[in-house]
Structure 1
Amino acid sequence: MLGRVLGAALAVGLAHTAVAAELRPDQVRFREVYKELVETNTSLSVGSCTEAAAKMGARLKAAGFTDSQLTYFSVPEHPKDGGLVAVLPGTSKTAKPMLLLGHLDVVEAKRADWTRDPFTLIEENGYFYGRGTADMKVIDATWVDMLVRFKEEKFQPKRTIKLALTCGEETISAFNGADWLAKNRRDLIDAEFALNEGGGGRADADGKVLTQGIQVGEKVVQQFRVETTNPGGHSSVPVRDNAIYQLSEALLKIRDYEFPLTMNDTTRAFFAKAGAGRTDATGKAMVAIAKDPTDKAAEAELNKDRAFHSMLRTTCVATLLDGGHAENALPQRAGANINCRMFPGSTMEATKAALEAAIGDPGVKLTPLQPIRGKSMPSPLDPKIMGPAEKIAAKYFPGVPVIPTMSTGASDAIYLAPVGIPTYGVPGFWSGPEGSGAHGLNEHMSVKSVYVGRDYLTDLVKAYANAG
């Protein structure tokens, strides 16, 4: 038995050595940063972004960053939600800085639900597994490792490169570092533009990369409380005037309401470019809608795809439900949470008015919930951003298009646009048809994607940093 155990341990050790031998020395060091980040629990319940920021700061300082180039920040009410801003000075006095943005926090992960320990970086069958491997510690590790190498190589960029590692992106109940920096230390993150999560590619089942996307804008999340009230009474003498029935009718009207189709430069470019490579009915509809947003036949075809349907309009959906106060009483109150994803340029007021008109019942109260979001405006399709992304992609992904995308989700980019920092979700990494498991079970990232994406982003950041 002992011999078999020792043999198995030796085999594992040899396998790890073989994997390490296949990596370049700089990749081995990057893997250490990636591993340290994934294995530092930064979930809201028991984790600490402050600890992760301190570990990354220590790596940067060891590489030669001075204390004046490293700024740690937090607030007393949220001591575990701290972050870090690092600055690599540029040589130009006229070129504005660029900002690398990354959130350190991750979604909760219960060990009992996962096949593997979510807070251990496990490499298995060509994938890295662990919470944050995709969202978004692979980018955080890339940013940190990149600045470490730049410092050690004595690389002097033309424009200053800033890195902001923050917390609070995954939940509104945490301290959001990006929001705090934008409101309180705008000077610290001042930049001509920022690079963030949100982009990335898609591969087929065989691992062949088909597309790379660069996120140029995103929807805005706005929550509403829809509520009905009633005097109630004894359940033994029911009446039609019932708070739960009234709420149910309102919810069905919200379900059936379709916000009007809306497009902007980003979505037009997306549908035109992504559709051009397809010959099916959906591809033809994508091209048609880009040319003519009033094409109802094309819209009807695209609405069959839930992702495309959401990209074409504001969407609102019921996500939480409550009502009544006793099992033997008519309900005095019933309510639901409505989660809206507002198309860039839309306002909370206009969205609220549209929902109220759709419900058509003055007895149903609709209340916007905090935080109240302002308008989200997409970043410009700037050739200075798109050009290098496409040129370098041609080197790493020959023949693969780089497509502008608008996220139907949300990221910390929402806090930078209002203070004048256009933000772009970077291409480079990719996932297969099954996705990455981000926010779900057994989150993972292709090993090849990690190393190729990291090299792509290194070249991309250098290109941006030496321009201007």
Structure 2
Amino acid sequence: MTSVSSRQSADPAPYAPDAEVVRLTSELIRIDTSNYGPEPGPGERTAAERVAELLDEVGIESRLYESEPRRTSLVASWAPDGVDASAPPLLIHAHLDVVPANAADWQLDPFAGEISDGCVWGRGAVDMKDFDAMLLSVVRARARAGVAPRRPIRMIFTADEEAGGLLGSQWLVDHHPEHLEDCPEAIGEVGGFSLTVKDDLRLYLVQTAEKGMNWLKLIADGTAGHGSMRNFDNAVTELSGAVTRIGEYKWPDRITASQRAFLDAVSEALQVDLDPDTVEQTLQRLGSISRMVGATMSNTANPTMLQAGYKHNVIPGQATAAIDGRTVPGGEEEFFATIKELIGEKVRYENVVNLQAVETEFAGALVEAMQTSLVAEDPQARAVPYLMSGGTDAKAWARLGVSCFGFAPLKLPPDLDFVGMFHGIDERVPTESLEFGARVLDRFLAIA
């Protein structure tokens, strides 16, 4: 397909922005970049070196940075002849790491990158080696054809996003902010995918906000002793009570601007009035996306790990638990006050990860470019904002004032459980969706 920019050129240079996207997605999946958090893993070095090679082949130089051995991020700037040099760079970011996968649970090898039933299968197919490949396919096609984007592009492929970005995006902000300080806007993952609500309408969810991430370690201290004795200062008992209270707590709804805009769009599309008390039941008509939407109606806190003791007949002197807390924009103060009340006086907490919620206004030229590029490929498209329950590298970039949007466009089959693919088994992405996304991204770069 010929892109918007090549049709506008006085001397068109035809090229296919989607030509390599399927192959590159498969290739990147085959590079195991599993992120085990504090445990050692293969690291992102091999993937970063391969991305550097792919960019170098079309004359784009890049720099590799390592926060720790093999925890590698890549930065590249692309401003070929023909760009508007007076415009600030657009940051396009993607991460190279993936969460681990147990091959025994999968239909196909999660690190084989196989193509089957019209999909590319494997860990990272949707989170997020698909967008890595889209970006590379588009940029390589344009560079070879000599077709410049409208404005300079700053590409960052990060390490460690799946563990909060401390060794990737957060490290880059702390040690190399010069690569971001001239970028007022950014696009990245978990946005731009379609949600079919009617035969003649697909909502494309653009992430304009994401919840804060507050990972806590609960600690209960007690008196150690023999398991056969009475013990009224038992750390396990105190911790269990705190964990139960947190797990059973019903957080009050807190509707943000991004959430309200999304709910209004859904209300209009479904032609129903959304009652705040029954909104989650109504949203179930949208399929699996309702799980993500439900998680963004309020703060959340889920116990995820417990640790105590070392022998059956020994009462331990300490017990610990992990809590995955997520806060809506503006909800952090309420979150910590509530946690303190729930855990009681005999349990304390430590912050393991504390990343602020972010929110960007769904307006401006960049948003208009998203809508225009989507409609050019899908006449039934309508871009709408939404609040994401998880987190991305946008949290780091926002520290430097970058306005971040999730825009990795995919036109998806209505029956595909896309949300369930994130960190799930049998992760896969349709090849047609990848090619669609590359074409939309190409149009976007021509006008953004």
Q: Give me the TM-score of the superposition, normalised by structure 1.
A: 0.81
The aligned runs of 1:103-142 (5 Å cut-off) are 103-142=95-134
Larger Rg: 1
* Aligned residue number for residue 273 of structure 2: 284
Tell whether the 8 Å contact from 2:236 to 2:316 is kept in structure 1 after alignment.
Answer: yes
CA RMSD, aligned part only?
Answer: 2.8
* Aligned residue number for residue 345 of structure 2: 362
Higher helix share: 1
* Aligned residue number for residue 57 of structure 2: 62
1:324 aligned to which of 297, 301, 309? 309
Relative contact order, higher structure (CA 8 A, sep 6+): 2
How many Å separate the matches in 1 of 2:422 and 2:345?
A: 41
User: Structure 1 residues 203 and 276 mapped into 2: Cα distance closer, same or farther (>3 Å)?
Assistant: closer
How many Å separate the matches in 1 of 2:16 and 2:364?
A: 35
The Cα offsets for residues 49-100 of structure 1, whole Å up to 9 and x where unpaired, read as: 22222222222222122xxx4222224x32x121221211164343111011
2:322 aligned to which of 334, 337, 352? 337
User: Structure 1 residues 133 and 164 mapped into 2: Cα distance closer, same or farther (>3 Å)?
Assistant: same
How many Å separate the matches in 1 of 2:280 and 2:28?
A: 44
How many Å separate the matches in 2 of 1:441 and 1:363?
A: 39
Identity %, equivalent residues: 24
2:30 aligned to which of 39, 44, 47? 39
* Aligned residue number for residue 453 of structure 1: 437
How many Å separate the matches in 2 of 1:119 and 1:111?
A: 8
How many Å separate the matches in 2 of 1:107 and 1:55?
A: 20
Gaps of 5+ in 1: 1-23, 290-296
Q: Does 1:53 align with 2:45?
A: no
Q: Does 1:372 align with 2:364?
A: no
User: Structure 1 residues 427 and 401 mapped into 2: Cα distance closer, same or farther (>3 Å)?
Assistant: farther
The aligned runs of 1:83-232 (5 Å cut-off) are 83-89=73-79, 91-172=83-164, 176-189=167-180, 190-202=182-194, 210-232=202-224
* Aligned residue number for residue 272 of structure 1: 264
Q: Does 1:403 align with 2:384?
A: yes
1:73 aligned to which of 65, 69, 85? 65
* Aligned residue number for residue 249 of structure 1: 241
* Aligned residue number for residue 72 of structure 2: 82
How many Å separate the matches in 2 of 1:247 and 1:155?
A: 61
How many Å separate the matches in 1 of 2:417 and 2:436?
A: 20
Tell whether the 8 Å contact from 1:238 to 1:330 is kept in structure 2 after alignment.
Answer: no
Tell whether the 8 Å contact from 1:215 to 1:424 is kept in structure 2 after alignment.
Answer: yes
327-336 or 161-170, which moves further after superposition?
327-336
The Cα offsets for residues 273-317 of structure 1, whole Å up to 9 and x where unpaired, read as: 0222225xxx522xx54xxxxxxx356857996533321111111
Q: CA deviation at 1:146?
A: 1.5
How many Å separate the matches in 1 of 2:390 and 2:329?
A: 12
How many Å separate the matches in 2 of 1:25 and 1:255?
A: 51
How many Å separate the matches in 1 of 2:278 and 2:335?
A: 25
How many Å separate the matches in 2 of 1:327 and 1:254?
A: 26
1:444 aligned to which of 418, 421, 428? 428
Q: Does 1:258 align with 2:243?
A: no
Aligned amino acid, residue 363 of structure 2: D
Q: CA deviation at 1:335?
A: 2.2
How many Å separate the matches in 1 of 2:282 and 2:304?
A: 24
